[in-house]
Amino acid sequence: MHRMGEAVTEQLHIEVKAKVLQNVRFKYTCRPCDRTSFNTPVVTADARTTLAGQHRYGFDAGLRARSQYVYGTPLYRLAHAFERAGVPVSRGALGHWVIGSSEKHLSRIYDALKLRLRSQPLIHGDETTVQVLKEKD
């Protein structure tokens, strides 16, 4: 047989892998104070500030931002996706993350934008409505 060419087909394969990142915080105490029977407290290094808050699963900001804001995934779908991946997170926890991280990390941006807007001599607004859900009227 004589080979006369090839037929190529392509198939998209996206592999999603989850990995756990551990943040180690060192604890300190005064050994000489312990030996002399002083009651010394144990001091732990400050925790790294994250957008996830103090939940059991500290999801990184990139994961939540891609899931929720880039892909427009509602929180209930995000909760189901995490559950299917073996990481149960309630919609309430996700909602608290969104609200808490917005209040904590975006307030400075909001304040700066508000200050800039109020300093303008004239403000225009576009109040065009956008239908989000397929509801009547």
β-bridge partners, 27: 44
Which tens digits make up the pLDDT trace of 2-24? 788 888 888 877 666 667 777 78
Distance CA 111, CA 115 (A): 6
Residue 33 CA: distances (Å) to CA of 27, 37, 44: 15, 6, 17
Q: Does residue 129 sit within a domain? A: no
User: Where are any strands of DSSP class E within the chain?
Assistant: 27-28, 43-44
Residue 53 CA: distances (Å) to CA of 25, 38, 87, 118: 16, 35, 16, 32
Q: Does residue 75 sit within a domain? A: yes
Reported as a pLDDT band with limits 50, 70 and 90, residue 68 is low
Calculate Rg over the CA atoms of the chain.
25
Q: Does residue 99 sit within a domain? A: yes
pLDDT higher than threshold 70 for residue 112? yes
Q: Does residue 32 sit within a domain? A: no
Range of the domain at 92: 50-118
Q: Does residue 64 sit within a domain? A: yes
Least confident of 50-54, 81-85, 91-95: 50-54
Q: Does residue 106 sit within a domain? A: yes
Q: Does residue 86 sit within a domain? A: yes
Q: How many Cβ atoms are within 10 Å of 100's Cβ, its own excluded?
A: 14
Q: Does residue 137 sit within a domain? A: no
Q: What is the largest CA-CA distance in the chain?
A: 91
Q: Which amino acid is at 32?
A: P
β-bridge partners, 28: 43
Q: Tally the domains of the chain.
A: 1
Q: Check residue 55 and give its pLDDT.
A: 46
pLDDT higher than threshold 50 for residue 53? no
